[in-house]
Structure 1
Amino acid sequence: MQYLNSSKLLTRYLFSKRTANYAQMRFSSKMSSDFVKVSPDVQDAVARGRAVVALESTILTHGLPIGTNLKAAKHLESLCDNCGVLGSTVGVIDGQLKVGLTEEELTFLCSGDPHLKKISRRDLPNVFANSQSGGTTVSSTLIGCHAASIPIFATGGLGGVHRHVEKSWDISADLEEISHTPVAVVCSGVKSILDIPKTLQFLETKGVNVVSFKSEYFPTFFSNSTEIKSPFKCQDLDELTRLLLFVRKSSLNSGLIIANPLPENLLVDSGMIEEAIQESIETADKLGISGKDFTPFVLDKVRKLTDGKSLQINLSLVENNVKLACELAKSYRQKMIKLRQKLNSCLQSSEDVLKKSPLVIGGINIDMTIKPTAQPSPASVPSEINLTLGGVGKNIAEALHYLKCNPNFISCVGNDPLGKLALETIPVGQENILISDTHPTSIYSLVLHPATSELLHGYAQSQIHHQISVDFVAKNEDLIKSSSVVVHDGNISPSASRQIFSICKQNKISLIFEPTDYAGCSNFAQVLAENPKVCKFITPNLKELIVLNDSIGQIMSNKRNDERFGKSTLQKAMQTDERVTDDNCLHLVAKNSEKALRVSDSILVSLGHLGIIVASENFSELEMTQLAESSQNRLEENTIGFYHFKVKKIDDAVSCSGAGDSFVAGFVSSFFQRKKNLSESVKFGLQCAKVALKTVEAVNPDIKRLST
């Protein structure tokens, strides 16, 4: 589409002030802050850029029989989960509009409690004031969607203009709400008990875009009518995604109705359905049933007259719509990632967007974090166990993304369910992630200290990282050359590492080496020794520093004996790490960094709760002055210096597993992207690490709130 090719239009397209102000006004309103509650899962998914689809709850409280409704609710959320999307059911519980229901809340809404309300936009003040509960219609679900920044909502059929509207003036609030809410509603058209032509005319008057997916005709809920032409047709998912992007980011402030025809296997005799509808409407008229009670009554009557066929079709069409909504949500997410990258390349003159982006080369893992909570029994150890997406390279890239550095990322995953989950979750571009058919996605198990949450043991299945081969690095040489800095973790093979060093050396690209395992550091010592001072920084912990330093020393003196030397060095590293304190850490780092400082300009040594020590052989006088003023302790001799940046103890730390990676990302963001000095950059990295301690996730999206 033409507007995507102009930087000026793209900037306006993504950052319309009118849209931003409108969304901010709606989200920060008193009703939103006091009466809309977004679940932690949904907040986290939206913050991380995961695909999310909202689901309404009136179908559960007033549309499906008891028993069937709860099974349907769980099935639809599970369907989303299987598609790699978070399904978020919206409902009102005790006077709060909740986006993302717990299992207990979902069960309550499906209980058949006679006090449960059918809640449209009009009803919200009453249910809020009286702390009532109920299912949300399309109109009230849209309010929750917009408050939670969910762009897509799947339902069965829309409300609309009722038949004989000239007598009743009964027009669903769904239509009015979607006319000023920029959310896509995936549905099976308008419920066939309504006046569909008048509904489409009303939507046209209100400026609502209506498209049918892969059809020229507008579906009529239970059937695919060939009598009513749709205003517009979208032929494929890519076209639908582009349309949603414009709806979300333009200043029109109106929604999008995506009419999804029924699959051929669900089609039934439309004449039989229409007869049942007419009879049900006549019965409702005779009984004087109207308003919000009309639709549930007629649908239930139609179900009985069709021997339950209409119910089965209803459930199937909702499932069909949820599937399309999930595919659209994933496509929209990928398109947004690419557009953000394109935007950054279009705004070269902006102070916050640099000409070059950082590149991270490293691993993606599925992390299993285990934290013992009680004394072990003979059978097992009671523990808190969490599964999260991790990997040093992935963590650094994700943190750089939240810090608005627009990172590129080279990595690999297996062509398996865990790899698929990783690709659907990572908020950075995936153009340079290799998908392997021969190796499974990496899994890393971490055992944390029950009191301090520091890492005690790690167990890895990570052979796939060696798929980042010399050839794969060579294919990405242009990307490496164009980077502001390359951060390379120790997951990949030494041969691929050697290739990265060579490209960075030839093109004078700053390089940071981030070790991932002290036992494996000796494998990279040869690469570092062969390429002295190519590394701008090495970022080890104390154990990793000791192994690197001793290994480099042995290589330089040509005395290395792999087996014997390796065992003694690892033993020394473990013993030294066990006795490190706030008082002796500077001396221990100074003692174990002489050889490492011959191959790297500087070293940033992570000491966990003791903070960071910055070491270098060639500090400038200005740098030494700045470091001396900012650090809490130091050792200095000529231009060699060791500076200790201490941190306050965090009593409520949840997990330390991603703190070091967040420190590196914060440091890179400040030093290389924002051009701050070394002292300021170390302190900013420590701020990012502190935020990382507050969540079980390896990277906390809240670091985006920090400012350099």
Structure 2
Amino acid sequence: MLLELRPDYTSELTAILTHGLPYPRSLQVCLRLEHLIRDQGAIPATVGLIDGQALVGLSQAELTRLAEPASSKQKVSRRDLAACLASRTLGGTTVSATMILSHLAGISVFATGGIGGVHRGAQSSMDISADLIELGRCPVTVVSAGIKSILDIGRSLEVLETQGVAVATLGSSAAFPAFYSPTSGFNSPLRFDTVQDCARAMQAARALRLESGMLLAVPIPEPHASRAAPLQAAVEQAIAESEASGIASSGKEVTPWLLGRVNELTQGRSVESNVALIENNVTVAAQLARTYSALLDPPAPSQPPISERPKEISDANKVRGTIAVIGCMALDITSVMPASALVKTTYAGTVKFSLGGVARNVAEAAHKLLPGANVALVAPVNANFASRYAIEAIEQLGMRRDALLPLQTSRGVGVANLLLDSQGLLQAGVVDMTSVEQVTAEEIKSKLNDVIDMSKRSIAIFDANLRPEVIASVLAYCHERGVATLFEPTSLDKASRICHTFQTQRQPRLSMMTPNAIELRRMYDTCRKVQLDQEDRWFASIDLLGIDSDFRAKLDRRMPRWMLDQGIPQQAIFMLAFVDTLLVKCGSQGFLVAHRLNGPQGAKEDKHSVINEHLMMQYFPAVPAEIVNDTGAGDSMAGAWAAAYVQNGFASADAVRKAALYAQRAAIASLQSESAVGDLTRVMLLSLMRFYDIGSNLSDPVFRGIVRGKRAHQDDLSHVMSRAAAAGVRGQMLTGDSLEGSREAVDLVKKLSKSSDMQLSATVGCHPCRATEPYKHARGPDGYFDDLRALIEADIAARKQGQPRRVAAVGECGLDYDRLEHAERAAQLDMFPRHFALAREFKLPLFLHSRTSEAHVDFVRILNQSGDAHQLPGVVHSFTGTVAEAKELIDLGLYIGVNGCSLKTAENLEVVKSLPLDKLLLETDAPWCSITSTSVATPLLDDFPAGMAPIWRPSSVKKERWAADKMVKGRNEPCTIGQVAHVVAKLHSVPLDVLAEQVWRNTQALLHPSESV
């Protein structure tokens, strides 16, 4: 958290992490709340106790540590603070403790769900929350949904009055809210119409030097407010049960018990209301913090934002993060020409101003992906128009500005004049970044000392606008202090500046570098020109990589021919003498990662990688995507790459792969944005979500471009898989509908697994519409099922050799009376139960099919007649039956699979709404069962999360106009599973990421019970 910078803001999120919600939802909610805060232009600073330190502003790694069930932690109030710090206990702070730490940090606003109060029966127990007392002696404004409804609200308000606490309700009514309910039967003494009114009251209290705080009560928003009555009834029942059982007298354990019991009684609805009100509270608090900041430090029209050096921050109040980005901030003037433009004249086009500069873009990307004030931008500014525009813009983004370097010159922020063609691709540009060359190494090192927490995994990023001698000095400074370094080459003309550093034999190694292919070539040529490859240290460093003839042969086979022809892998290996990791951007053709390893990793090679004990070379193909603007995609990639490093490190090949995919998603988001750095919400969202498509028919010829036996376009299965991966699909089960179809599905899983990190599996069985085929087998149905058995046995043999499970279920099997023209009823009734023996023998679940209510009756009867229906786990996929039929299947222990066909009618939606979340699986049934324009679910797709539409609902073209970055009309794909998930989440009124995680765990429990989830 940037304490000397406003708007300032903290939140009691660690209580959610440690004692509020179950993991991983607790972490997901906290990260979501921090993004809501940033969206309002405020800076989130979650408070917690870690390793003997009271921290204001936590990294994602620290949030995760507090949230994980395995970690031992304590709920910390005022009385516990000193003891917990002394014992180095992990702790989530209560309202009272958060107020104390906020005040010490100079922060004036924080949000929570609801504050503590006077416990019922306090007239005999004297059980009064420390929250009320702290509000009377700590000048911090607490934004909450009132007082928790399990408490005595009337007496709590009396205590607050005695303590001199200003209590106000925000809105048109003075009614004091009671957490789940917008009313409690009591009124607040004060009421504010707007946050501006509240901010002015805070300003007046500050002027009067009042030492008491303020409680701003914000009623729970609709539609949750209208659901208050049943929730309050559940609260009253839980209270009665706690008193009857004696739990009511168990001290601080009673509140978690009551919340858990209310959640049980309301079947999870109380948790959804809880999340909704805290989201509303943090949004209001962030608006209040920003408004209050403007009142304390109003901009003067005649005074530039920085006309002299910012006042120094005392050592006690300095906030140190994990990333510092050093280099240039620029005003981008972007002009887009019409398609018919010629040269040497002017055209009617579009011109816009935006904030850019390589270092600034990288910093914004990292800032959007990390919690708190972890990212500091070290860039020169002055008093000119461009600087004022830039400073205001980064403040609006919620970025810290304490590391900016004021210059007493006519040049401050750089200017980049960019010319784009009608497709958004850069054609030419003129850039003036000379101001950054005036910055000295000592100025930068002083800032780094102030803004980087060198006790944590941290990184300093610098662009090539710095002078070569400054780069060398800063690199040495970081190396001495254990801070990783990343060099972004910036442009072809400046890329070789780093080579000056490499020429000094005593100069320490660079940690990372993110050049594009032509910048890599320029650095390679420069290093060879000065004969760095003739030095002993170069040979010694390259020898340590262990590149033998086998490695070279694999490299030649597995890297794209165009990449080998350009010498990119060879140039990257050359540069590994000076840098540990390179991410080489190759535009529309993907990118290469070359990474030095420290000993054996056990990492799996695929068709795009070569790995030995000391070196990893991995090519990542491009994900086809529509391009709006490509000016900041590479910078976004570098920022996300650095964010991934500080969160998870690069200790393993797998960690580097995950970071690379994370960075690629950030680049795609920016390519599809008009801004240099796009909305990276979806990158964060996808980092929290994972989908498993349980019904994918990728072996269908349409994914090879064959339609009705004729080639309609090129084989595009690789593009389909890329789109799926970009959409968060982490697993797919390919459907086997016949003996031959099962063989094809298993073979395709083996093939795709060589180039994909997805959890891929297949089913083996006979679809009811293919039920006559076993009679045509040379050995009849018995021989047919023997051959299916052989597929499973071969998979088991491969697993004994260390291969992952490829056959995950028996099926698709069942009954389909809607298409009896394909297979008569008798054949279906004969083949369906034959699958049970395979399922029992190999302990595999069933992948089931039931179509029409008449078929359902026979379907259930056959399962019951099997004698152990409840011992045959399975999923009824593509379910389109009734509520009663779904309940009957769930009572048999079966899961229900939902896809676009399950969401066509209003009746379908009611069925899906009735399904318990712990019995729900998701699928696309691609290439069929998409959500079409005639589906009643289609209107529910109008409010996708920010940035998700391009990857969950990509644009499509007719097959005759096939394009790599577009879907084919009428052909569904696994990437659309986000549409299904979004609709189901809305029907169940649960956050999308929560639904995704629940369904993922359901899928793992059914299909991969022995594997980690």
TM-score by length of 2: 0.35
**Which fold has the larger relative contact order, with Cα–Cα distance below 8 Å and residues 6 or more apart in sequence?**
1
TM-score by length of 1: 0.49
